[in-house]
Amino acid sequence: MLKKILSMVLRWVPPYHRVRLTQELGMTLDAEGAREAMQKMVLHQVQSLPAAEALRFLFRFDAFLYGIQGHQSVRYDQGVHTKYRHTRYHDFFLERIQPGQTVMDIGCGSGLLAFQLAQKGAIVVGMDISHEKMALASQRHVHPNLTLRQGDALTEFVSGTFDCVILSNVLEHLTNRVQFLRSITQRYQPSFLLVRVPVFERDWRVPLKKELGVEWRLDRTHETEYTQESFLEEIQAAGLVIRAMEVRWGELWVEIVVGGHGT
């Protein structure tokens, strides 16, 4: 009865004040009490909705929680997302680059992987379009083998050629991906590329979200999220060959050769 009365009262409260009131009520509870109250509220909400609307509500709420979990994971590891040590995807790149090799890391972000490659003995150029990330990388990651450059890899090029080009979570953000792959292989003349991209088929909920018209991408800036088949089609269209491919953590980790034969 109290729950029904409270629900009726909240409906008459303007949205802004309703949020403030809910926040105030939540702050009167300890963490466990707040969790239990939230679970009851969510369950009550979905039980009153048709299945499709209930799923849309749950998926959107889950996306909200996912974002918060990411921020708290960074806070938990004091500024570095815990995914780096859990997935260890940097190892995929580090194991395939040898000391003395030249590497172009496009979309290098905060520069951590580029820095680790430089520490291993590779000669690395890291480029990212973000001024903020490049400023942070320049402060945190300094090494004589590492050059960092802010720029748009679609229109700006570094002089010289490289043994390897790295594209870690880059391709999914682009529209003309085949043209981009062709341009960087022609420009930088690499022997191989190391690529990491998210997989559409990472979870059964992804196609269901898409079917229901709910945001299904890991990031709203993604132009695509690949199936293994669609990724292979684009690589072949760019005139490249997959030498090795792993599916881990809902991603494709791929070694691609230029003008070679796959295994």
190 neighbors 104 (Cβ within 8 angstroms): yes
Q: What is the pLDDT along the chain (263 residues), one digit of tens a residue?
A: 445 545 554 555 565 555 555 655 555 667 787 778 788 888 888 888 999 999 999 999 999 999 999 999 999 998 888 998 999 999 999 999 999 999 999 999 989 999 999 999 999 999 999 999 999 889 888 999 999 999 998 888 888 999 999 999 999 999 999 999 999 999 999 999 999 999 999 999 999 999 999 999 998 999 999 999 999 999 999 999 999 999 999 999 999 998 754 44
Q: How many distinct helices (H) and strands (E) make up the chain?
A: 11, 7
238 neighbors 184 (Cβ within 8 angstroms): no
Which one-letter amino acid corresponds to residue 11?
R
pLDDT of amino acid 259: 74
In degrees and rounded to multiples of 5, residue 238 shows phi and psi of -85, 0
The tokens describing 263, both together, are 């295994």
What gap in Å lies between CA 210 and CA 233, rounded to an integer? 22
In degrees and rounded to multiples of 5, residue 207 shows phi and psi of -65, -30
The tokens describing 5, both together, are 């009365």
What gap in Å lies between CA 195 and CA 226, rounded to an integer? 12
Place of tokens 């993604």: 222
pLDDT of amino acid 144: 96
What gap in Å lies between CA 208 and CA 228, rounded to an integer? 19
Place of tokens 């003995």: 121
Reported as a single tens digit per residue, the pLDDT across 208-256 is 999 999 999 998 999 999 999 999 999 999 999 999 999 999 999 999 9
Residue in 48, 96, 42, 47 with CA at minimum distance from that of residue 65: 42
Percentage of the chain modeled with pLDDT above 90: 69
**Residue 76: CB partners within 8 Å, gap ≥ 6?**
82
What gap in Å lies between CA 50 and CA 57, rounded to an integer? 11
Residue in 237, 242, 198, 243 with CA at minimum distance from that of residue 220: 198
CB atoms within 10 A of CB 68: 9
